[in-house]
Amino acid sequence: MAANPRVMFPDTRGTPLSVVGTEVTVLSADRADLKITLQRGEEGTGPPPHHHDWDEAFYVTRGQVNFAFGGTLTNCPAGTLVHVPAGTVHAFSYGPGGGEMLEMTGPRSQAVTMFAALDKLATAGEPKPEQLVATAAAHGVVLTL
């Protein structure tokens, strides 16, 4: 059975999730092979180095996002596409004035469920670092602090 086309207008999006300094709006979570989120952050915010067993790609739509792979930092302005293969240790932070990007993840991705769990922690108060690490690990993300 073929999937039905889907159109999501800005006013039909869900409430953004608060994920450790990043606002994450889930655009597509109902497919097993593709998840799409819109992510926004203030200058300097972003996740620490981490890896997971799914591919992901980012398309910078506004501002600048700085991606780190190993010892290399790449400044990515709007219009840049970044592909991160499964298992690659990576991090990113939003550049001057903040930034916005689309994130697309492939099969096995637990990103959306992890974002929801981290948002739940944030609404319960200031999460402790060990809670963040445990929540990420429970969703297949290994932080390499």
Q: Is the sign of the CA dihedral 73, 105, 60, 142 positive or negative?
A: negative
- Let me know: does 98 contact 41? Beta carbons within 8 Å: yes
pLDDT at res. 124: 86
Residue 62: count other Cβ atoms within 10 Å of its Cβ. 15
In whole angstroms, what is the distance from residue 29 CA to residue 88 CA? 23
Domains of the chain (ranges; CATH) run: 15-143 (2.60.120.10)
DSSP 3-state assignment of 85?
coil
pLDDT in tens, 13-34: 999 999 988 999 999 867 778 8
pLDDT of residue 79: 98
Spell out where 78-139 has E strands: 81-84, 90-105
Q: Residue 90's pLDDT is what?
A: 97
